[in-house]
Amino acid sequence: MGFGPPTAVIEGTVYLADDGSTLGHAEVCAFGLDTTCVRADGAGRYRLRRTEQSVSLRFRAGQLTAATDTLRVLPPGRYQVDCAISGRLVISDRPPPCQPAPGR
């Protein structure tokens, strides 16, 4: 038996939608009851742990427009969330959703 509440592990890769390259060192934030931010590694891979709750993810890298993805209530388990960020300028008060990951 483990200590603390059950956790969900969210992991994936952040890409540039325009050419499919990975975005190393992108920032990934999970917003829910609290906020957790992590930095992707040099290959764009990230991993974070959350307690069971609804989570909204924000992905951003450099001067690119941030992108978002929303997960509903997360029961304990593993979740793969890849995000491709568009290099196009977006004029909106809300970040656009993640684009599909290249080749998926």
The predicted-structure confidence for 24-52, as pLDDT tens digits, reads as follows 999 999 998 888 999 999 999 999 988 86
Strands (E) across the chain are located at: 7-16, 27-31, 35-39, 45-51, 55-60, 67-71, 77-80, 83-85
pTM: 0.87
Q: Which amino acid appears at position 91 of this protein?
A: I
Write down all domains in the chain, each with its CATH number in brackets: 7-85 (2.60.40.1120)
- The bridge status of strand 77-80 relative to strand 7-16 is parallel
Across 4-13, 16-25, 62-71, 87-96, least confident range = 87-96
Question: Which has the higher per-residue pLDDT, 77 or 91?
Answer: 77
Q: pLDDT band for position 1 (50/70/90)?
A: very low
pLDDT over 80 (residue 53): no
List, for residues 84-99, the tens digit of each pLDDT value. 999 887 777 778 899 9
